[in-house]
Amino acid sequence: MSDNQAQTSVYDLIIIGGGPAGLTAGIYGGRAGLKTVIMEQGIPGGQAAQTEKIENFPGFPEGIDGPELSMKMYEQATRFGAEFTNASVESVDLEATPKVIRAYGETYLARAVIIATGAKPRRLNVPGEEEYSGRGVSYCATCDGAFFKGEDLVVVGGGDSAVEEALFLTHYAKSVTIVHRRDELRAQKVLQDRASANPKVNFIWNSVIEKIDGDDKGVRRCLIRNVVNGEKGEIPCGGVFIYAGTAPATEFLPASIARSQDRYIVTNENLETSVAGVFAAGDCRAKPVRQVANAVGEGAVAAIMVEKYLAR
């Protein structure tokens, strides 16, 4: 889209973020005849597109590959007329009329906005993490797992992502050691059982990574500390996959959009934020459960509420 086009056309709905929530909002917005654009900085699907297999999304009894599900949602949204643009939002003026979104030097105008920017991996902030990022430190097993054939790997975290991705890594790795800071996992029981039954998966409990160390070829070891007895140790490994939770991608938002202490967007049950005409859906929203299934539900609700808002 040229600068001029972006400036002059006012969208009914701009959706920031093209994960499951944003794409579903696109399906509903497009199908309702709203002039809709989805702005996404990466490929369609967000975190879901980086998940090897999604087993708990209804309608796919054998599970479905995350990238495939994402592309199906994308095709459905664009089939109903939603535009999809590759753009990273730099700044917004959400209280203006119309609302203003700036991305890649272009200005987009909209009558209503849905924020569906999701969440991104939280960093451990330990020495070596940044230095070896892309050279053995990864936040995406689906993207990078195949580079680690026959290696001993470390996975950090005890949630669904850590356990699910550790299991995925066993397709390639010689062994996968899950290092968790407590003595019990947060992950769903079905995943815990699978990990316990997998001979390639080991656990180190009550421990945190203190340093990731290596050489010019990449990661060689993790230095760990037991948080109960203070004992220090070392795990030789060729790669470290970090799944220490997520942080919402909400930095570009103004203070007028109310957020929780951990920066997730606060909405009411109609998914309205603290600014009129601005809605939020999916993992960027303050809520207790983050699943693809509830992200798509919220995308649908947000778009229907936008329709009602615009009709008022």
Which are the catalytic amino acids? 140, 143-144
d(CA 142, CA 139): 9
**Looking at this protein, which amino acid is placed at residue 6?**
A
Contact between 56 and ligand NAP by CB under 6 A: the answer reads: yes
Q: Does 158 help bind ligand NAP (rule: CB under 6 A)?
A: yes
- Cβ proximity to ligand NAP: between 186 and 194 the closer is 186
- Rg, C-alpha atoms of the chain: 21
Residue number, 36 or 177, with CB nearest to ligand NAP: 177
Burial (CB < 10 A; 0-12, 13-18, 19+), residue 225, is: middle
Interacting residue with ligand NAP among 142, 246, 273, 294 (CB under 6 A): 246
Query: 67, 98, 127, 159: which one contacts ligand NAP (CB under 6 A)?
Result: 159
Smallest distance, ligand NAP to C-beta of residue 37, A: 27
Judge whether 11 and 111 are in contact, CB under 8 Å: yes
Classified as helix, coil or strand, 33 is coil
Distance in Å, CB of 19 to ligand NAP, minimum: 12
Q: How far is the CB of 66 from ligand NAP (least distance, A)?
A: 10
Q: What string marks each residue from 192 to 211 as x (binds ligand NAP by CB under 6 A) or -? A: ----------------x---
| Contact call for residues 252 and 113 (beta carbons, < 8 A) | no
Asked if residue 186 binds ligand NAP (CB under 6 A), the reply is yes
Contact between 245 and ligand NAP per CB under 6 A: yes
Q: Is 182 in the site for ligand NAP (CB under 6 A)?
A: yes
- Residue closer to ligand NAP, measured from CB, 151 or 164: 164
CB of 198 to ligand NAP, least distance (A): 16
CB of 159 or CB of 297, closer to ligand NAP: 159
Residue 53 sits in the site that holds ligand NAP (CB under 6 A): no
Segment near ligand NAP (CB under 6 A); pick from 3-11, 159-167, 261-269, 271-279: 159-167
Q: Is 287 helix (H, G, I), strand (E, B) or coil?
A: coil
* Paired tokens of 197: 């039954």
CA gap 73, 48 in Å, rounded: 11
- Position closest to ligand NAP via CB: 159
Q: Give the shortest CB-260-to-ligand NAP separation in angstroms.
A: 14
Rounded (10°) CA dihedral 54, 58, 61, 63: -10
Instruction: Tell me how far apart the alpha carbons of residues 2 and 58 are, in angstroms, rounded to a whole number.
Output: 40
Q: What angle do CA 121, 125, 131 make, to 5 degrees?
A: 95
| 191 vs 253 by CB, closer to ligand NAP | 191
* 256 touches ligand NAP (CB under 6 A): no
Buried/exposed 175-201: b ≥16 CB within 10 Å, e otherwise: bbbbbbbeeebebeeebbebbeeeebb
Spatial contact of 303 and 31, defined as CB atoms under 8 Å apart: no
CA–CA separation, 118 vs 284, rounded Å?
A: 4
Query: Contact residues for ligand NAP (CB under 6 A)?
Result: 56, 124, 156-162, 164, 181-182, 186, 208, 243-246, 289-291
